[in-house]
Copies of this chain bind each other. A is one copy, B any other.
Amino acid sequence: MLRVGVIGGGQLARMMQPAAINLGIQLRVFAEAENSSAHLSATAVGDYLDPAALLSFAKGVDAVTFDHEHVPKHLLEMLEREGVKVRPGSAALIHAQNKLFMRKKLASLGVSQPIWAAAKTAAEIEDFISKNGPEIIVKTPIGGYDGKGVRVVSSVQEVQDWLDSISDFGGELLLEQKVPFVTELAQLSARRPSGKIKIWPLAKTVQVSGVCSEVIAPVSDVGDQAKNIALTISEGLGVVGVMAVELFQVDSGELFVNELAMRPHNSGHFTIEGSVTSQFEQHLRAVLDLPLGSTGLNAPFAAMLNLLGQDDSNTMQPHFSKAMDLVPEAKFHLYEKAPRKGRKMGHVTILGDEPNTILKRANLARAAIYGN
């Protein structure tokens, strides 16, 4: 029987479970805590920084993959030296772990991206602001997610704390032009070790306070730009598994790469119902080097809204009755996470013929499950 090991027990590992059950693949999750979102498949609970625990876990599976990008490179390399199939491999994953590495590599591949620079000093930041300001983006190269580790600033003072502890972030900060985008997009793809790549239709994403709130797919007015960017990056970096490329679209229609993720991604949750092959099934196929499934859509459009924690008490499930009654076509997903304001607790997806209609219906479902 095929076995896939996942490091991290969050909602991405959780959502790999239905795909694994369908295919009769054993999913084994290395979770950080007993009550993780993917607890049903947790065969190890502990600290992924413990090399012995990590190796013991990895030795029992056909391929190791990830719920998050936090496993340090030296541990991934240790696993690879021991013959473990780490997918994506350490040499590719570093570009999703370190945003400066990513910018450098994308530059070498000729991929369109915002003006950027690495900075070690206040003077370098001041210089970048004077050339690309008044506002610029400063990012910690490692450790950021969902808007954390990202600031819009117009003075060095606003990132003085990061400069003071710059060694925590690899000794440099990433400075980026604030792109005057009109739309944010996400291009999902998957690649298997043999090199075969499948691309899903392009999605439009809407962020609120740096957190994804809404995804609608497909959007089709940017031609092959997004597809070609994904192909260039996936091949150029030797990615294995699902990759999401977050893109800025500016007024002229041109695209710029914002972020990369080498795993199933929030912007691809619509594929669970919306695509013949979900990003979770495709990721399992890819890391096992199985042929990739069709990325065709099951409906003209799919809309996905995140269900974000409203407070410390609303687990959302008590509102199923109202929400399901109001919107019988809505597909609800809850991640079994303790409620906390702003936390990704679940999502809701609706398929249909007309984007505005399904967005409206999805918003109705979300309002109901929020208890409104």
Which chain A residues have a beta carbon within 8 Å of chain B's beta carbons? 1-2, 14-15, 17-18, 21-25, 40-41, 272-273, 276-277, 285, 290-294, 296, 298-299, 315-317, 320-321, 324-325, 328-336, 346, 351
A324 to B291, CA, bound (A): 6
Q: Can you name the residue of chain B whose Cβ is closest to the Cβ of A324?
A: B291
- Asked if B296 contacts A298 (CB within 8 A), the reply is no
> What residues of chain B lie closer than 8 Å to A334, measured between beta carbons?
22-24
Which of B40, B316, B325 makes the CB contact (< 8 A) with A41? B40
Determine how close the nearest CB of chain B comes to the CB of A211; give it in whole angstroms. Answer: 20
- Asked if A24 contacts B294 (CB within 8 A), the reply is no
> What residues of chain B lie closer than 8 Å to A335, measured between beta carbons?
24
Determine how close the nearest CB of chain B comes to the CB of A320; give it in whole angstroms. Answer: 5
A294 to B320, CA, bound (A): 15
Given contacts A21-B18, A23-B334, A317-B2, contact A292 B40 (CB under 8 A): no
> What residues of chain B lie closer than 8 Å to A41, measured between beta carbons?
40
> What residues of chain B lie closer than 8 Å to A324, measured between beta carbons?
285, 290-293
Q: Can you name the residue of chain B whose Cβ is closest to the Cβ of A40?
A: B40
A10 to B335, CA, bound (A): 25
23 contacts between A and B (CB under 8 A): A1-B315, A14-B21, A15-B21, A17-B17, A17-B21, A18-B22, A22-B331, A22-B333, A22-B334, A23-B320, A23-B332, A23-B333, A23-B334, A24-B316, A24-B317, A24-B336, A276-B328, A276-B351, A285-B324, A290-B321, A291-B320, A292-B328, A294-B328
A351 to B351, CA, bound (A): 15
> What residues of chain B lie closer than 8 Å to A291, measured between beta carbons?
320-321, 324-325, 328
> What residues of chain B lie closer than 8 Å to A276, measured between beta carbons?
328-329, 331, 351
Q: Can you name the residue of chain B whose Cβ is closest to the Cβ of A196?
A: B325
Determine how close the nearest CB of chain B comes to the CB of A317; give it in whole angstroms. Answer: 6
> What residues of chain B lie closer than 8 Å to A24, measured between beta carbons?
316-317, 333-336, 346
> What residues of chain B lie closer than 8 Å to A296, measured between beta carbons?
329
Determine how close the nearest CB of chain B comes to the CB of A305; give it in whole angstroms. Answer: 15
> What residues of chain B lie closer than 8 Å to A40, measured between beta carbons?
21, 40-41
> What residues of chain B lie closer than 8 Å to A325, measured between beta carbons?
291
Q: Can you name the residue of chain B whose Cβ is closest to the Cβ of A298?
A: B298
> What residues of chain B lie closer than 8 Å to A315, measured between beta carbons?
1
Known contacts A18-B22, A292-B328, then 11 further A-B pairs from the complex at CB < 8 Å, ordered by chain A residue: A1-B315, A23-B317, A24-B317, A24-B335, A24-B336, A25-B317, A276-B351, A290-B324, A291-B320, A293-B324, A298-B351
- Asked if B293 contacts A329 (CB within 8 A), the reply is yes
Determine how close the nearest CB of chain B comes to the CB of A55; give it in whole angstroms. Answer: 25
Q: Can you name the residue of chain B whose Cβ is closest to the Cβ of A325?
A: B291
A315 to B315, CA, bound (A): 40
- Asked if B290 contacts A22 (CB within 8 A), the reply is no
Determine how close the nearest CB of chain B comes to the CB of A365; give it in whole angstroms. Answer: 11
Determine how close the nearest CB of chain B comes to the CB of A251; give it in whole angstroms. Answer: 36
Determine how close the nearest CB of chain B comes to the CB of A145; give it in whole angstroms. Answer: 22
